Structure 1
Amino acid sequence: MNDCRGTIISPMNENIHKYKKLYLYTKIKGILFMLFNEIIFGPIKSRRLGTSLGINVLPIETKYCTFDCVYCECGWTHANQEKKAKLFTRTQIKEAMEKRFPELLEQNIIPESITFAGNGEPTIHPEFLGITEDTIKLRDTYFPNAKLTVLSNASLIKRPHVKEALYKFDNRILKLDAGSEEMFNRINRPVKKSIFKEILNELISFDGNLIIQTLFFKGEYAGQIIDNTSAEEVELWLGHLKKINPRYVMLYGLDRETPTKTLIKLSKSEIDSIAKQVRTIGIKADVYT
């Protein structure tokens, strides 16, 4: 999930060519999609995470995700993606870190965050727990002050090994893009249906020790109106936040190309107005546009 993606650790409001070495580019019907082209990318400056070193445990040639979000800069989720995806092994990922971490240390480049993101949903990797444990050991050796961060759509928390792994992260940044199940299905288009309530229950189970990220926008897709900014949607979303009680909420807007050109970016003032409502219920909120 580069944010699986919204742009959490991607440089925002910068010329894309400055970062072209980080990505593979695919142009489909005039739209430029981006995929990280290696296991370890960056570090890059993130307004949210500081100096962030990215870890992509997913394929470099295709997106691999449990969602098919209408705004995803990686493009659409492919049918039969399990057959197409060539996952890096735990050993390959560990070896990549063992090579890159000392190189960065020698150059005195010290990341503030080691961030699991990349070309889809990182927790989908069957060895996610082991990879997390390897990363922690290497982090402690080379960058002991760096926070371990994961960007996840929260769809697989119910799996015991995923939840165990998530508890090992300093920053669990988990997606909640809608207040209603109907809007969730329109925006996030989950591969597994009827998952919204399950996700909400799992988010609540963290007892507030997580960060919620939400992308706000309007538009239309497949003949259906998409708007998670309506009074009704925001009220439902705020109700979920009260139960989840996160450390804070990250609100952001569209920043990259999207698979469909029928989405509308909100102004900062529009997102600010929603953030104020979050603060009114006693939860910290930061806006990134």
Structure 2
Amino acid sequence: MTVIFPSPIFGPVHSRRLGVSLGINLLPADGKVCSFDCIYCECGYNAEHRAKTPLPTREEVRKALEEKLKDMQINGPAPDVLTFAGNGEPTAHPKFPEIIEDTLQLRDTYFPEAKVSVLSNSTFITRPAVFDALNKVDNNILKLDTVDEGYIRLVDRPNGSYSVRRMIDKMKAYQGNCIIQTMFLKGSYQGKDVDNTSDTYVLPWLEAIKEIAPRQVMIYTIDRETPDHDLEKATPQELDRIVDLIKQSGISATASY
């Protein structure tokens, strides 16, 4: 079953990685807008979920967020985190930098202990305004599933031009103020093996992680139904092995099974 989130606010939900999370969805409520078209995306394929309604405006997001935070102040629960996620890539919103400013201000007013997190596929960090906005949030969570260009084109399926090297260089420019998030999975897609848990993929990726030097790495595997049905979860043992390799490099790491 595909997951399409309400917009612009959903939850709170209990996140495997972040705790009590209030979701902020900058994409339409009736479809998906993303610069990737990942074969494992819980929101389904882009072509199957074309949005017919516009993006929420900056003003709509701010108003809905403030109303929800006021309600949570009175009725609970207190959020651990305000998380930009939802039906696609949040940084694709043309007013993303301004919405981050609004969100930080509202967070400071209503729940100053809460963190602001952004789950991003990293494709727009080459835009200076997006790069700077992500540098201001508590948890700047950037996707890097592999450093193999062919694998990214097969599994993550970027819509526009994409360069792994350029992404790594921009991630390095955060000087540690980022968290790298990586999906590990197995199975096949269009007859091709998509297992990225072996050293063939893990060791070059680990070298890139060392180069980026993030403050943390979050690795995870499939949790919900995927649009392609020949995909399989990585095992806890496989994820634990990768976590150990990251920790041996002196970088904090967690796995979600």
Q: TM-score category by the smaller chain?
A: over 0.9
Alpha-carbon distance in structure 2 between the residues aligned to 1:179 and 1:234: 9
CA apart distance, 1:199: 1.3
- Kept after mapping to 2: 8 A contact 1:70/1:187: yes
1:232: which partner in 2?
Answer: 200
2:23: which partner in 1?
Answer: 54
Give matches, 1:1-289, under 5 Å: 32-78=1-47, 84=52, 86-289=54-257
3-state SS, counterpart of residue 243 of structure 2? helix
- Kept after mapping to 1: 8 A contact 2:4/2:87: yes
CA apart distance, 1:184: 1.7
Q: Which residue type is aligned with residue 287 of structure 1?
A: A
CA apart distance, 1:160: 1.4
The CA RMSD measured in Å over matched residues stands at: 1.6
Evaluate the alpha carbon distance shift between residue 194 and residue 122 of structure 1 in structure 2; reply closer, same or farther with a 3 A threshold: closer
3-state SS, counterpart of residue 33 of structure 1? coil
CA apart distance, 1:94: 0.9
Q: Which residue type is aligned with residue 42 of structure 1?
A: G
Alpha-carbon distance in structure 2 between the residues aligned to 1:56 and 1:110: 19
3-state SS, counterpart of residue 34 of structure 1? coil
3-state SS, counterpart of residue 66 of structure 1? coil
* TM-score for the superposition, normalised by structure 2: 0.95
Alpha-carbon distance in structure 1 between the residues aligned to 2:73 and 2:45: 37
Residues 101-133 of structure 1: per-residue CA shift (max 9 Å, x gap): 111101142111111111100000000011111
Alpha-carbon distance in structure 2 between the residues aligned to 1:78 and 1:225: 23
CA apart distance, 1:172: 0.5
CA apart distance, 1:85: 5.5
- Kept after mapping to 1: 8 A contact 2:31/2:49: no
- Kept after mapping to 1: 8 A contact 2:7/2:56: no
- Kept after mapping to 1: 8 A contact 2:32/2:49: no
Alpha-carbon distance in structure 2 between the residues aligned to 1:114 and 1:37: 15
Structure 2: unaligned runs, 5 residues or longer:
none
Evaluate the alpha carbon distance shift between residue 194 and residue 47 of structure 1 in structure 2; reply closer, same or farther with a 3 A threshold: closer
- Kept after mapping to 1: 8 A contact 2:66/2:106: yes
Q: Which residue type is aligned with residue 152 of structure 2?
A: F
Q: Which residue type is aligned with residue 138 of structure 1?
A: L
Residues 120-171 of structure 1: per-residue CA shift (max 9 Å, x gap): 0000000001111111111111111111110001000011111121111011
Q: Which residue type is aligned with residue 200 of structure 1?
A: I
Alpha-carbon distance in structure 2 between the residues aligned to 1:108 and 1:228: 41
- Kept after mapping to 1: 8 A contact 2:118/2:139: yes
Alpha-carbon distance in structure 2 between the residues aligned to 1:228 and 1:68: 18
* TM-score for the superposition, normalised by structure 1: 0.85
3-state SS, counterpart of residue 275 of structure 1? helix
What is the identity percentage for the equivalent residue pairs of Structure 1 and Structure 2? 46
- Kept after mapping to 2: 8 A contact 1:75/1:259: yes
Residues 180-230 of structure 1: per-residue CA shift (max 9 Å, x gap): 111122221100133322211111111111111111011221232212112
Q: Which residue type is aligned with residue 66 of structure 1?
A: S
Number of aligned positions between the proteins: 257
